[in-house]
């Protein structure tokens, strides 16, 4: 099984972060029960000083380079990833995409309707490269802006409804799609370090949402049990 993480700033992480990708790697090592590989064109964290993906300063330096691979970027959303995913799938041959996108789109680029259209383009592009690829998509987790910007809060809710519809419409036996549940008990005050980006508990909650979806629907891995 070859797995690619696709996401925005919450997925790439910043210098000094563990990242939810690290938590998922720990989970897969404990529960997957077979060979797997994490693949993708990128491996670094975002470096705030350079405002670029140039940092290798993961919180756990023992996180191996081979497990750091991803397709994630600070400030990148469905809009940016849809044009990249066909070539990524063709070159790195993932069997499974774990995708967390949408917040940056709604915050800066597109409203809910066009963002949902980009989801559909993304799925179509991935399938052009591999008609049998699987995907797990995470709903948008509204950040602190949603507490003070009612329009943004509504857009987040609307997009998640459209995302659910897209998954239902596009799911096939040949290329299954899953909509992960919103991370259980996620609290932007307790599970982020700045109102948006996950801290240790937030990373575990995001990883758990993906892990539980995979386990319950496809019997991949086991129930999520956080490591330290």
22/37 Cα distance (integer angstroms): 13
213/147 Cα distance (integer angstroms): 28
Domain assignment present for 199: yes
Domain assignment present for 53: yes
Domain assignment present for 227: no
Average pLDDT over residues 123-151: 98
With cut-offs at 50, 70 and 90, classify the pLDDT of residue 228: low
- If phi > 0 it is left, if psi is from -120 to 50 it is alpha, else beta; for residue 18 that is alpha
Domain assignment present for 224: no
- According to the model, what pLDDT value does residue 142 have? 96
- The torsion angles phi and psi of 219, rounded to 5 degrees, stand at 60, 35
What are the angstrom distances between the C-alpha of 222 and each of 12, 63, 166? 24, 21, 27
% residues pLDDT > 70 (the chain): 100
What are the pLDDT digits (tens) for 56-69?
999 999 999 999 99
Bridging pattern class, strands 52-55 and 45-47 = antiparallel
159/139 Cα distance (integer angstroms): 8
- According to the model, what pLDDT value does residue 138 have? 98
What are the pLDDT digits (tens) for 172-218?
999 999 999 999 999 999 999 999 999 999 999 999 999 999 999 99
Q: Is the pLDDT of residue 115 over 70?
A: yes
Domain assignment present for 214: yes
120/63 Cα distance (integer angstroms): 33
- According to the model, what pLDDT value does residue 226 have? 80
- Segments forming the whole domain that contains residue 169: 2-218
Bridging pattern class, strands 134-137 and 177-179 = parallel
61/152 Cα distance (integer angstroms): 37
Number of domains, the chain: 1
Domain assignment present for 223: no
Domain assignment present for 225: no
**What is the CA 51 to chain-centroid distance, rounded?**
21
Query: Residue 50 maps to which CATH number?
Result: 3.40.50.1110
Domain assignment present for 38: yes
């Amino acid at each position: 099984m070859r797995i690619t993480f696709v996401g925005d700033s919450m997925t790439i992480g910043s210098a000094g972060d563990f990242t939810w990708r690290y938590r998922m790697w720990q989970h897969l090592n404990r529960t997957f029960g077979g060979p797997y590989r994490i693949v993708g064109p990128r491996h670094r964290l975002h470096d705030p000083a350079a405002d670029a993906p140039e940092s290798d300063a993961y919180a756990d330096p023992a996180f191996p380079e081979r497990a750091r691979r991803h397709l994630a970027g600070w400030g990148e959303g469905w809009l940016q990833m849809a044009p990249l995913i066909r070539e990524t799938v063709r070159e790195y041959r993932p069997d499974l995409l774990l995708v967390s996108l949408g917040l940056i789109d709604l915050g800066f680029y597109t409203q809910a309707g066009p963002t949902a259209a980009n989801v559909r383009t993304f799925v179509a592009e991935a399938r052009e490269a591999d008609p049998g690829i699987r995907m797990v998509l995470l709903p948008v987790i509204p950040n602190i802006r949603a507490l003070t910007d009612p329009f943004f809060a509504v857009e987040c809710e609307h997009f998640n409804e459209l995302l659910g519809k897209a998954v239902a419409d596009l799911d096939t036996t040949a290329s299954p799609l899953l909509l992960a549940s919103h991370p259980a008990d996620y609290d932007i005050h307790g599970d982020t370090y700045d109102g948006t980006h996950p801290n240790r508990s937030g990373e575990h909650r995001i990883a758990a949402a993906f892990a539980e979806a995979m386990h319950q629907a496809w019997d991949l891995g086991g129930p999520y049990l956080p490591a330290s």
